[in-house]
Structure 1
Amino acid sequence: MPSITLANLGWSTPDGRPVLSDIDLRFQRERVGVVGRNGVGKSTLLYLLTGERQPASGSVAVDGSVAMLRQTVQVDPDETIADLFDARDSLALLRKAEAGDASAEDIGDADWTLEARIDEALAKVGLSLSADTPLPHLSGGQRTRAALAAAIFAAPDFLLLDEPTNNLDRDGRAAVRDLLRGWRGGAIVVSHDRELLEEMDAIVELSGLGAARYGGGWSAYRSRKEIERAAVEAELADAEKRLDAARREAQVATERQDRRDAGGRRKAARGDMPKIIVGGQKRRAEETRAAASRLAGRQRDAAQAQLLAARTKIEVVDPLSAGLPPTGLAASRTVLALDDVTAGYIEGQPVIRDLSLTIAGPERVAITGPNGSGKSTLLALVAGTIGPWSGTARTQVPFAMFDQRVSLVDPSLSIADNFLALSPGTTNNQCRAALARFRFRADAADRTVGSLSGGQMLRAGLACVLGAPQPPQLLILDEPGNHLDIESLAAIEMGLAAYDGALLVVSHDPAFLDAIGITREIALR
């Protein structure tokens, strides 16, 4: 049976920062979700399984074939869906044969079922597109679906999926869940999509303590984690009580011995005892004190060891605090206005047609709709990165745009330098304090943005903008939860709920939209 075995696996960044340590895992023909905080090594684990990265220690043994879907699909202008399937030349040969221009040898080499099989793979992820469709013409969600179809096309023994539902609309997410329900091979799925994780046969949690495996899906994992957390906290509290008791007992024993020694010295001072008896009592007192001290030391050491053992079972994580300064946005202020806007990228093929939209004051507006309906295009119009073909688009307050690549931060600069560049006049102390609230403390603030994981990069971008002394009055967010771990997402939800400016958000996560208090929804078709 195909399997993947990890033994004492370790990996570090090029600068020597350990990411994975002593990982022992075995994967078979099952669906396993991989969860953990941003930067803990989830994507790195998949790269180690494909052989694209080599372990610093331990080993990876893969018995079977693997295919991987990565977090992002970068495309060249001339790429088509066929390129995802590595089928451009084979399909060109079919076209040549169909046109009657192929040689007898070419016809013998042609795979006449290829196009039908590609269409079938695309249909499994809800796409009815030709293999010749240019990738730049697809939305991010459509490209993700096409890449997933290409991953399953070769029928690998193991599917490695890195955030497969990022960028997908609700139908796309449902298609991924349906695909995995019917998948008969192994699947290792890095995700923070709780609905998708519910479909798993097991959950592997990566943390600073290593890797832990839990049977069942997301709910079973969370339930087991709560039981474990309660048990460890009880063990820690008991160990602390034992250490306090050992210290008190040692203190009481010392004070008792001190009183005995003082009584002996007073009796000896009266001179009514022979010196030999006084000397014997002094020697016995010293021996008793030494024995009591050794016993107390052993008790304290045992209690201290128990406490340390309990603490090693608890991962210490700095909380993320995304409380925001006020923006000063008045309720009557017009934030943005689109009047009869039509826009797109290819002449004669508008993505948005005759759209009007006004946001006033601290409104919270969600843009929803299926992949390809123009949601990201609308945000680009508001941000001014593209202009309308007709109509007018005006954004009338300071704003910050968080696209899916977090392009507002410079990947070549450190997080701290990005913060200072985006908030001129801010002192270094203000910068460090703001970044610390987003869990970038001390040396972490000096990390280069380009070295961060997708979730860490978004958190860095949010820290640089939301941590500023004067936050923008409008936040434009394109799928902000795509790369955040679940704990960070919850903290960002609380921070955005407390934000007093206007929000324009694209998201396919109903729970996220509900948590941040969306007041109006605009559905694109």
Structure 2
Amino acid sequence: MSFTPASVVCAQLTFGWPDGTAVFDRLQWAAAPGRTGLIGLNGAGKSTLLKLIAGELAPGSGSVKVSGEIGYLPQDAALDTRLRVDQALGIAGARAALHAIEAGDTGEEHFAAVGDDWDVEERARATLDALGLERIGLDRTVGEVSGGESVLLRLAALLLRRPDVLLLDEPTNNLDLRARRRLHAAIASWRGLLIVVSHDRELLEHVDQIADLRDGEVLWYGGNLSAYEEALAVEQDAAERAVRAAEADVKRQKRELVEAQVKLARRVRYGQKMYEIKREPRAVMKLRKRSAEVSAGKHRQVQADRLAEARERLGEAELAVRDDDEIRVDLPHTALPAGRTVLTVERARLRHGTHVDLDVRGPERIALLGRNGAGKSTLLRTLTGEIALAEGEMVVHVPVRHLPQRLDVLDPEATVAENVAAFAPSATENAVRARLARFLFRGARADQPTGSLSGGERFRATLAALMLAEPAPQLLLLDEPTNNLDMASVRSLASALASYEGALVVAGHDVPFLRSLGITRWLRIEDGVLREVDPVLL
């Protein structure tokens, strides 16, 4: 690392997409050494901001200045499966030169390739070990490792370079629980400038500050995620009190304006009456009448100005209150009585070899855990009938729906409303739109082509189609549902599932999210067998 303190400074940063969509307008932001968690709603521009800092995108105007070398791990980045592990780590040249020197070849080019990095192999193996990749040899190919291991391998390559500025975009997506914990530890021990975009609650407990990207601005909160949520709760409570006070002021100003208008109308009528009965000289009466009208006009304008100012204060107060709507899934036809048999799997063996015995009754809530590649997705697809059992028996006694990781159950060319209607053919258009409003697709939003939706919106649309399908699902299978969802969407999903009254099986690695669902049973696929586990040990 260099001895110059690392920094990132965005000055008057403006960026928009070619279709005219504006993302940032004169953004001012600076980050110093320390671990920063960058959060915000889906579509707020978090990944775009990281790409601008990394130099992968150019700003429309303004500047991004970075002091120090950058290491960048983008979201869903793939490695060439033909590469050897040492090539993926970026140490193949130095390693080959080191081996040549050890074999007696003293060519200058070998010493130049090694430089001062004589312990490159030891550092590489230590880095792999720290990330739980101790079984991966440097001579293996990337194609031999799992998708989650590939992500950790890319992170290992960055850590070996020891950059001054490390940028990570949703690094725990698609990682199993063990790999997540390894990555959490790596982030907790990082001592440079780190900016991580994530919705992983456990990861965000290891940062030093939270940067909340909202409406094109970054708001800073000191401390980790828990400290941020406490500060935000206090802030929002104050904002809601300010709205109530502003609403009361608007009502008072309206009332006073009406009372003033009534009083002034009486005074005008009285002046007119005095003028008509001519108790005083005509010139005096005209003067008094004009004076009363001018006074009335001024008073009316003062009250109108006060009302306008009160409304402006109300508008400002309302802007400070966050309006992150929540999905509602209060669907009565999904309800299951306690003890009702939902699913029976006996002496079964899945296609890839996992042995399963499972009995689900009533509105149970089951968490399905296991390492990447253990067979969680295969089990869910088997329960839907998409994949046949290798042996054994399975009976699903209630309507079932499956939300896969790929979110590929909808027609991308059709609108949201058309997709939902296809799952509920007997429902009227009004009924479809009324139901879609529960999932925050109101008005024109329901007429958007599904293929144009963001990741979070596509998830909501898919969930809406499955939940509103006919017949109503009384067993819902979710596969890694929080991948690619922002934190507000994760909270919204948890709230939605809290009101779901059917049986639930959720495969995932996000333990805090699973706990928020009120899980009643925790199952893990391990060593080819589905077993019940104690959640205290997770």
Regarding TM over 0.5, the answer is yes
Correspondence 1:4-403 to 2 at 5 A: 4-74=8-78, 78=82, 81-82=85-86, 84-86=88-90, 114-128=120-134, 129-135=136-142, 137-208=144-215, 210-327=217-334, 332-333=340-341, 335=343, 337=345, 339-344=347-352, 352-359=353-360, 362-383=363-384, 386=387, 390-392=390-392, 394=394, 396=396, 398-403=399-404
Q: 5+ residue gaps in structure 2?
A: 527-538
Contact 2:327 2:496 in 1 (8 A): no
Alignment partner, residue 3 of structure 1: 7
**Shift, 1:133, TM fit:** 4.2
Counterparts of 1:318 and 1:328, CA distance in 2: 24
Question: Residue 462 of structure 1: CA displacement?
Answer: 1.2
- One-letter amino acid of the counterpart of residue 52, structure 1: E
Query: In the alignment, what sits opposite 1:348?
Result: none
Q: How far apart in 2 are the matches of 1:283 and 1:62?
A: 69
What displacement does 1:35 show?
Answer: 1.5
Deviation at 1:255, TM superposition (A): 1.8
Instruction: Tell me the distance in 1 between the aligned counterparts of 2:60 and 2:422.
Output: 36
- TM-align CA RMSD: 3.4
Q: C-alpha separation between the residues in 2 aligned to 1:216 and 1:370?
A: 31
Aligned to 1:516: 517
For the Cα contact (< 8 Å) 1:124–1:149, is it kept in 2? no
Listed one character per residue, the Cα deviations across residues 107-133 of structure 1 (whole Å, up to 9, x for unaligned) are 667657554433222222121112344
The letter for the 1-side match of 2:124 is I
Q: Is the contact between residue 39 and residue 456 of structure 1 (CA under 8 Å) also seen in structure 2?
A: no
Aligned counterparts of 2:476 and 2:303: Cα–Cα separation in 1 = 61
Determine if contact 1:36/1:42 at 8 Å carries over to the other structure: yes
The normalised TM-score by structure 1 is 0.86
Query: Paired residue for 2:483?
Result: 482
Partners of 1:384 and 1:150 in 2: CA distance? 41
In structure 1, C-alpha distance between the alignment counterparts of 2:447 and 2:90, rounded to whole Å = 40
Q: Distance in 1 between matches of 2:451 and 2:226?
A: 34
TM-score, normalisation: structure 2: 0.84
SS of the aligned residue for 1:148 comes to helix
Deviation of the 1:329 alpha carbon: 6.3
Q: 1:156 Cα shift?
A: 1.4
Q: Distance in 2 between matches of 1:471 and 1:31?
A: 45
Question: Can you list the C-alpha shifts for 1:12-37, whole angstroms capped at 9, x where unaligned?
Answer: 34433334444221012111111122
Give the deviation of 1:163 after TM superposition.
2.0
CA–CA distance in structure 2, aligned partners of residues 221 and 174 of structure 1 = 22
Could you tell me which runs of 5 or more consecutive residues in structure 1 were left unpaired when the two chains were aligned: 345-351
Cα distance change of structure 1 residues 65 and 415 upon mapping to structure 2, 3 Å threshold: farther
Deviation at 1:187, TM superposition (A): 0.8
Call closer, same or farther: CA 1:212–1:138 in 2, change over 3 Å: same
| Residues matched between the structures, number | 516
State the 1:4 CA deviation. Answer: 1.1
Distance 1:206 1:230, change over 3 A: same
Seen in structure 2, the aligned counterparts of structure 1 residues 383 and 21 have a Cα distance that, compared at 3 Å, is: farther
C-alpha spacing 1:119/1:223, structure 2 compared with 1 (3 Å) = same
CA deviation profile, 1:441-464 (whole Å, cap 9, x unmatched) = 333334444444433332232122
Residue 465 of structure 1 is matched in structure 2 by 466
